[in-house]
Copies of this chain bind each other. A is one copy, B any other.
Amino acid sequence: MKITITAFDRSPDGGRGLARDTRVRWALEEVGQSYEVRLVTFDAMKQPAHLLLHPFGQIPTYEEGDLALFETGAIVLHIGERHAGLLPNDANARSRAIMWMFAAVNTVEPPILELVTARIFEGDKPWAKERIPLVMGHVRERLKQLSTRLGDSEWLDGAFSAGDLMMVSVLLRLRASGILEEFQNLAAYVARGEARPAYKRAFDAQWAVNNRN
């Protein structure tokens, strides 16, 4: 069945792979499913047609036959459940891979998003200078715990899974901050993710969209 996703017509990151459609593209590339992309402008994202697909007016969305989904984690999980390559067969290992997906978006990403807010949306506020180091401290606390758990393992729990796909994608948002490099095993973990052929194809595809003409 034809799969159609939505992505930014022009991503705020200029195509550096940080928009969430990259996560969905990566998942589809890992499982070898082709897909079409419908580009959406910021204006169109807030219009009724798109809000029917995504009530919070964001990208990506996922359409396949009668099914329409929003929320990146749910889309990646759906892809992993329908196609081999993102979730282990063993039931317990599968539950743990899904656990890392939720850990990525609900435990590790929130302080990282706070840092983005503090820097970009509140960067001109009088409190920015004093508050940013505080938020960076929260990010470091989480990374330290994650770094301890990862140790010198290649991936979070056995073979590469949708949990790693989500965690690497979340950590990539830290690249510009320099914090990731304070944790060598996490920096190497992210580099392993980026080195996967499926990631490269996903990155190249979203880069091409954002750097056309």
Q: Interface on A for B, CB 8 Å cutoff?
A: 51, 55-58, 66-67, 69-75, 77-78, 81, 92, 95-96, 98-99, 101-103, 105-107, 109-110, 113-114, 117, 122, 125-127, 130-131, 134, 142, 145-146, 148-149
Contact in complex: A105, B103 (CB < 8 Å): no
Contact in complex: A92, B105 (CB < 8 Å): no
26 contacts between A and B (CB under 8 A): A51-B148, A55-B145, A55-B146, A56-B142, A58-B107, A66-B92, A67-B95, A69-B96, A70-B103, A71-B107, A72-B102, A73-B102, A73-B106, A74-B95, A74-B98, A74-B102, A77-B98, A78-B98, A105-B105, A110-B110, A114-B114, A114-B117, A122-B131, A125-B130, A126-B127, A127-B131
* Contact with A95, one of B78, B96, B106, B125 (Cβ below 8 angstroms): B78
* Contact with A127, one of B58, B66, B127 (Cβ below 8 angstroms): B127
Alpha-carbon separation in the docked complex, A99 to B105 (Å): 13
Specify which chain B residues have a CB less than 8 angstroms from the CB of A72 in the assembled complex.
102, 106
Interface of chain A: mostly helix, strand, loop or mixed:
helix
Specify which chain B residues have a CB less than 8 angstroms from the CB of A74 in the assembled complex.
95, 98-99, 101-103
Specify which chain B residues have a CB less than 8 angstroms from the CB of A57 in the assembled complex.
145
Alpha-carbon separation in the docked complex, A142 to B70 (Å): 15
How near does chain B come to A209, taking the closest CB pair, in angstroms? 24
* Contact with A71, one of B78, B102, B149 (Cβ below 8 angstroms): B102
Specify which chain B residues have a CB less than 8 angstroms from the CB of A109 in the assembled complex.
106, 110
How near does chain B come to A142, taking the closest CB pair, in angstroms? 7
Q: Given A102-B105, A105-B102, A131-B127: A67 and B55 within 8 A (CB)?
A: no
